[in-house]
Structures are given as structure tokens and as C-alpha cells.
Structure 1
Amino acid sequence: MRTHRSAAKSATAFRTISEVSTELDVPQHVLRFWESRFPQLRPLKRGGGRRYYRPEDVELLRRIQSLLYLEGYTIKGVQRLLKEGLTDSGEPLDTVETSGIDEADEPAEQAIEPTDAPDIELPSAAAGAEAPPSPTLPEAARREIEDVLEELKILRSMLAKAADSAE
């Protein structure tokens, strides 16, 4: 009987997507999605497209995971942080300096507070009733919504492809 022995691998050994998925507790499809979104992440691909992650790839995935899941950044926000090299300094993530990043890239819980949302009165259902003018969103909120919409469209496409291949 074969047993799983990931502890036996050296720290410099390459890891398969299955091993990285287990180690980071992130589904494999999410790792592949991140690969499509972060050009800095380039695992080696062998015959049949099998991925092999170097130790530096696994460390980058750990940083991405932490920024997205623990710090609350959006995909766009993490892309900008990585592009500017703000997380490549070797500092722990909780001490990464974020000054100079616009508010769309700040953690989601700080981007827009519910109390900042304008009160919107729904238009009357009566025929001929005019709708009140639509309030304008702050630019940062609009960008955040557009980013989320883009991610949802990508996920919808991925789900449709998976459903088609399952049939």
C-alpha cells in the first residue's frame, strides 16, 4: 500500500499541483486561476501540461493566498502589489508597507463602509412614475465592483467549461 509522505521531500524539491493544493489548502482550480492572473507565477510544465512548482513558486502562492484571504485584497490589488514589488522585500505580510496604494487596492473591509453607501429610494411601481436620478458611486467603489464583475465572469466561464467537459 502506498502512503503519502510529503514530509520526506526536501525544502528545495519541486512540488506537483496536488501537493501544493494540499499544503496551502487551496483547490487546484484556484491555483490554476491564480496562474492565469499573476504572471510572476510560472511553474514548470512537463509533458501533458503537468505542473511542477519550485519553492519560490510555493512561497509566492503563500503570499498571494495571504493577501487575498487574510488581508482582504482583491485580485487587482494583489497584482498591483506584486507588480510594484511591495511583497518581495522578505518582510512578513503583516508589516508590508501599503502607503501609496490607492483605496481600491486596500483590503476590502476598508475600501467602503456600509455607512458610506448613499440611501437610494426605489422607484414607484406605478405606471408613468419617473425614477429618481441614479446616485453616482465614488470611483474607487466603481472600480471595485468592475473588478468583482470581471472575476465573476471568468468564474462563470470556468464553471461552464467544467460542466461541458463533465457531460
Structure 2
Amino acid sequence: MAKGPDAFRTISEAAEELDVPQHVLRFWETKFAFIRPMKRAGGRRFYRPADIAVLRGVRRLLHDEGYTIKGVQKLQREQGLKRLVAAGEGVSPAAPTPADPGAVHRPGGRDGLLTALRDLQAAKSRLDDLLRK
């Protein structure tokens, strides 16, 4: 039997719902002060529906949008938790300003990183060739 939408979730239920391992949720607690599940006796974590909504936004920004941890921290600091919840609902954040390129968001996610890696490897190869001459 599935829990209702207003029910609290254990860490294992939250991890399953968000499709991340439990240790990732614990790690995020250390990096994001705004992630504070309720803790019962023995340190057992319980996530409120609002916690899950914020976590969904953090997950989307980090895993799908290519944000860094510092980028998510900055986004939350500047735009608040509502912005993270909106990201979890599929609303993409605005691109960074030209004065601060890349500080909040690294466009392209995994594909962009792989392209950048190939470009760097090609540049290194050219430099190595020039140094051998």
C-alpha cells in the first residue's frame, strides 16, 4: 500500500522516490543547510512532503541541469527555496548573468562536460605535439 502525498517518508522511501542512493541524501544534508529532515530517537530521518519537493529540485539541478553544489547554494541564497521547488517541478532557472558566467549553472549537463573534455584532450594533444618539435 502506497503512502499518501502528505505522509512523511523515511530515508529509504525518499531515496527511492528521488532515484538517488541514501548516502547521497545524507551528503546533501552536509552541503545544504536548508535540507533538514526531522530526526527521531536513534537519528532516524523522516522527510516531510516539503522536504521531498526541495530535494526533487536539488536533484534536478545537480543531476539534470549540470549545476554544481556551489551553484545550487547560490541559487537558493539568491532566489530562495521556492526556486528549488520550482526546479523540481520542471521550471528551468534563468541562465547566469554575463558578469558572472558559469558561477551558478554549467549549461549542457553531462553532454556539455563530455564535449569540453574532448576539446581539452585535443588541445593537450596539440600542445604536446608543439613541445616535441
Report the RMSD for the aligned CA atoms in angstroms. 2.7
Aligned partners of 1:17 and 1:51 also within 8 Å: yes
Aligned residues: 118
Look up the match of 2:102.
103
Query: Which structure is larger by alpha-carbon Rg, 1 or 2?
Result: 1
User: What TM-score do you get using the length of structure 2 for normalisation?
Assistant: 0.73
**Deviation, structure 1 residue 108:** 5.1
> Larger RCO: Structure 1 or Structure 2 (Cα < 8 Å, ≥ 6 residues apart)?
2
C-alpha contact (below 8 Å) 2:96/2:105 kept by paired residues: no
Aligned to 1:80: 74
Q: TM-score, normalised by structure 1?
A: 0.59
Identity %: 44
Q: Which of residues 96, 108, 119 in structure 1 aligns to 2:123? A: 119
Alignment of 1:14 onto 2:13: no
Unaligned segments of structure 1, at least 5 residues: 125-167
SS of 1:105's partner is coil
Give the match for residue 94 of structure 1.
Answer: 91
Return 5+ residue gaps in structure 2 as ranges.
none
- Extract structure 1 runs of 4+ deviating beyond 2 A: 89-102, 107-124
Q: Deviations over 1:103-136 (max 9, x none)?
A: 1322253688458749343466xxxxxxxxxxxx
Which of 69, 78, 94 does residue 63 from structure 2 map onto?
Answer: 69
Matches within 5 A, 1:117-156: 117=120, 119-120=123-124, 121-122=127-128
Q: Distance in 1 between matches of 2:36 and 2:61?
A: 19
Contact 2:96–2:102 under 8 Å retained in 1: no
